[in-house]
Structure 1
Amino acid sequence: MPDAMCTFAARADRLILAAMELKSTLYAVRDGIATITLNRPHRGNGWTGRMHSEYRYLLGEAEGDTDVGAILVTGAGRMFCVGGDAQALEGHSERGGYDPGTTPDLVTPGSREFEAFIEDFAYHFALSKPVIVALNGAAAGVGLVLACYADVRFAVSGAKLTTAHGPLNLPAEYGLSWLLPRLIGGAHALELLLSSRKFLTDEAHQMGLVHRLCEADALVEEARAYAIDLITRVSPESLRQSKRQFWLDQHRDVGAAVRDAGVLLNEMMGQADYREAIKAFLEKRPAEWGKESKA
Structure 2
Amino acid sequence: MELKVTESHVQDGVALIRLNRPERGNSWTHRMNAEYRWLMKSHDANPDVRVIVVTGSGRQFCVGADFRALEHHQESTKDYVQSARELELANPGSDVHEEFEHELVWHWGLNKPVIAAVNGACAGIAVSLAAFCDLRYAAAGAKFTAATSKLGLPAEYGLSWVLPRLIGLAPAVDLLFTGRVALAEEMHTLGFVHDVLAADDFEAQVLARARTFAATVSPIAVRAAKRQIYAEQMHLQPGRAVEDARQLTGELLKHPDCREGVKAMQEKRAPSFQALRI
Deviation at 1:217, TM superposition (A): 2.4
Percent identity at matched positions? 46
The CA distance in 2 between the partners of 1:166 and 1:77, in whole Å, is: 27
Match of 1:236 in 2: 219
Q: Any unmatched runs of 5+ in structure 1?
A: 1-19
Q: Alpha-carbon deviation of 1:263?
A: 0.4
User: How many angstroms apart in 2 are the aligned matches of 1:113 and 1:78?
Assistant: 35
Q: Shift in Å at residue 98 of structure 1?
A: 2.6
Q: CA RMSD in A?
A: 1.7
- Residue 257 of structure 2 is aligned with which of 260, 273, 283? 273
Q: Distance in 1 between matches of 2:80 and 2:217?
A: 42
For residues 29-52 of structure 1, the C-alpha deviation after alignment (integer angstroms, 9 at most, x for no partner) is: 011001100000000001000000
Task: Identify the residue that residue 142 of structure 1 maps to in structure 2.
Answer: 125
Larger CA deviation: 267-276 vs 223-232: 223-232
Aligned to 1:256: 240
Deviation, structure 1 residue 101? 6.1
Query: How does the TM-score come out when normalised to structure 2?
Result: 0.94
SS of equivalent residue, structure 1 residue 74? strand
In structure 1, C-alpha distance between the alignment counterparts of 2:87 and 2:127, rounded to whole Å: 25
1:102 to 1:39, Cα distance in 2 relative to 1, 3 A:
farther
- What SS class does the counterpart of residue 201 from structure 2 fall into? helix
Task: Give how far 1:155 is off.
Answer: 0.9
CA contact (8 A) 1:50 1:102 kept: no
**Inter-partner Cα distance in structure 1 for 2:180 and 2:84:** 27
1:61 to 42, 48, 62: 42
CA contact (8 A) 1:56 1:107 kept: yes
Q: Is the 8 A contact 1:50 1:103 kept in 2?
A: no
Q: 1:14 is matched with which residue?
A: none
RCO comparison, higher one (Cα < 8 Å, 6+): 2
3-state SS of the aligned residue for 2:91? Answer: coil
Q: Which residue of structure 2 lines up, in the alignment, with residue 22 of structure 1?
A: 3
| Bigger mean CA deviation after superposition, 64-73 or 105-114 | 105-114
Q: CA deviation at 1:111?
A: 4.2
Matches within 5 A, 1:1-295: 20-95=1-76, 98=80, 104-252=87-235, 253-290=237-274
**What 5-or-longer segments of structure 2 have no aligned partner?**
none
